[in-house]
Amino acid sequence: MIIAARKSLEEIRNMLSGYKRILVVGCGTCVTICWAGGEKEVGILSSQLRLASSKDGNELSVMEAVVERQCEKEMVIEELGDKVPGVEAILSMGCGAGVQTMAELFEEKPIFPALNTTFIGMPEKEGLWLEMCGACGDCFLDRTGGICPVVRCAKGLLNGPCGGNLETRCRK
């Protein structure tokens, strides 16, 4: 699963500076599970943006939506097609793939990332994610005992001698 973390409110507000009508779009899969960009997080960020703009005396209209998967074009068009024409900019609370998919589909609108995609990982326990894959594009887990040496080997061994792993530890 892709793990992401939200950018600071200040950074997001700087990106949106000058826009009066925005659409905040969450993603219902990976970033929902890691609590960065689901329906709840879209609501929180939208409220924070409205409150901060109101405090500054600026008018800001914020619409909200959550797409099941921002990285799938058909879902994005189906779920956002009627909302996009009424806004000046889109704030994506999806991973980098989701941001790029929306930018390709809605090229007449600026698409801003509200999240930083951090890694591909898995949940260890509630609120703790382990980086499992470096997405290097040259997977060789079959030769490394199922450990991604790019992100999980303390020695960074890509092709050196390795005895594999035993209960998440190196054998030697």
Q: Distance between CA 74 and CA 34 in Å, rounded?
A: 24
**pLDDT over 70 percentage in the chain:** 86
Residues 69 and 141 in one domain: no
Q: Are 156 and 114 members of one domain?
A: no
Residues 113 and 34 in one domain: yes
**Could you tell me if 91 and 33 lie in one domain?**
yes
The Cα–Cα gap between 89 and 139 comes to 37
Same domain? For 41 and 17 the reply is: yes
Are 140 and 113 in a shared domain?
no
For 35, phi then psi, to 5°, come to 60, 40
Is residue 20 situated within a structural domain? Answer: yes
Does residue 125 sit within a domain?
no
- The residue among 43 and 134 whose pLDDT is bigger is 43
User: Do the beta carbons of residue 89 and residue 95 sit within 8 Å?
Assistant: no
Domain-located, residue 34: yes
Residues 83 and 141 in one domain: no
Domain span at 9: 2-118
The tens digit of pLDDT for each residue in 128-146 reads 888 888 787 777 776 666 7
Q: Do 79 and 141 lie in a common domain?
A: no
The answer to whether residue 154 sits within a structural domain is yes
What stretch of H or E contains 10? helix 9-16
Based on the fold, state whether residues 154 and 87 are members of the same structural domain: no
What pLDDT was estimated at residue 124?
84
Structure tokens of 51?
Answer: 């409150």
pTM as predicted: 0.83
Query: Are both 54 and 114 inside the same structural domain?
Result: yes
Q: What is the mean pLDDT of the chain?
A: 88
Q: Are residues 146 and 66 in the same domain?
A: no
Q: What is the mean pLDDT of residues 122-127?
A: 83
The count of domains in the chain is 2
